[in-house]
């Protein structure tokens, strides 16, 4: 494998393994050696890729949110879905995935917000960026749903997207302590199935 491609593969493997461990153990509970051992990369090489654990966590945050943005975009681009149905399908998929995982993990963004959101400026900026990217896609979806006549227009798409992100994050925390998808379903039913509807 060419050296540049190997370096990219190693970087991706480090980020993927890092996301898994950060989800399971948190920032402070995850050691660099553990990540490196899992992907069989020598310790000294880590700093060639990321420079520091804090830089690594900031990049892992973006690595984590990308598949969610791609997944939601896929639903929105499905010609068989209107925007509100796309949102409902997307969140139903997330709920099913969380049920299969026995409610473990929750959301890396929410977990890290609580753990290091006010102690690491670099990670705080990465968390803000990830949340805003996600919220902006939800906002675009809700704006499209407003144009399609399925979502109310007396509230802005931005306000509704913020409310959805905030309630979903809270529902994920409750899911973890309740060991139930009920808070997630309640969030979606109350917002997407009722409050947001035209």
- pTM for the predicted model, two decimal places: 0.91
180-183 — which CB contacts under 8 Å span 24+ positions? 180/103, 181/95, 181/98, 181/99, 181/103
The SS3 assignment for 132 reads helix
If 0-12 CB within 10 Å is exposed, 13-18 middle and 19+ buried, where does residue 5 land? exposed
Query: How would residue 2 be classed by pLDDT, with cut points 50, 70 and 90?
Result: low
Vertex 169 angle, CA 166 and 174, to 5°: 125
Q: How much of the chain, in percent, has pLDDT values that exceed 90?
A: 81
Output the pLDDT for position 157: 98
Task: Look up the CATH architecture of domain 54-195.
Answer: Orthogonal Bundle (1.10)
The SS3 assignment for 197 reads strand
Helix axes 108-116, 157-178, angle to 10 degrees: 80
Domain boundaries, the chain: 54-195
Does residue 1 register a pLDDT over 60?
no
Structure confidence by residue, pLDDT tens digits, 30-74: 998 899 988 888 878 888 889 899 999 999 999 999 999 999 999
Average pLDDT, the chain: 93
Residue 122 and residue 8: Cα distance in Å, rounded?
23
Q: How much of the chain, in percent, has pLDDT values that exceed 70?
A: 96
Within the chain, what is the greatest distance between any pair of CA atoms? 57
Quick one: which of 75, 46, 44 has its CA closest to 60?
46
């Amino acid at each position: 494998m060419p050296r540049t491609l190997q370096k990219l593969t190693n970087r991706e493997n480090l980020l993927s393994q890092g996301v898994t461990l950060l989800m399971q153990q948190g920032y402070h509970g995850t050691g660099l050696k553990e990540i490196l051992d899992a992907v069989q990369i020598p310790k000294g090489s880590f700093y060639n890729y990321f420079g520091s654990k804090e830089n690594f966590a900031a990049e892992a945050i973006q690595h984590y949110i990308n598949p969610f943005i791609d997944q939601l975009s896929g639903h929105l681009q499905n010609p068989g879905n209107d925007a509100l149905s796309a949102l409902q399908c997307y969140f139903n998929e997330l709920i099913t995935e969380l049920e299969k995982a026995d409610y473990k993990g929750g959301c890396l963004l929410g977990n890290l917000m609580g753990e290091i959101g006010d102690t690491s400026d670099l990670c705080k900026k990465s968390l803000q960026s990830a949340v805003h990217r996600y919220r902006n896609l939800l906002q675009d979806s809700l704006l499209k749903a407003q144009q399609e006549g399925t979502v109310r227009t007396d509230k802005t798409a931005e306000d509704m997207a913020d409310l959805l992100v905030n309630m979903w994050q809270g529902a994920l925390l409750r899911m973890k302590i309740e060991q139930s998808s009920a808070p997630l379903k309640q969030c979606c039913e109350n917002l997407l199935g009722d409050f947001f509807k035209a």
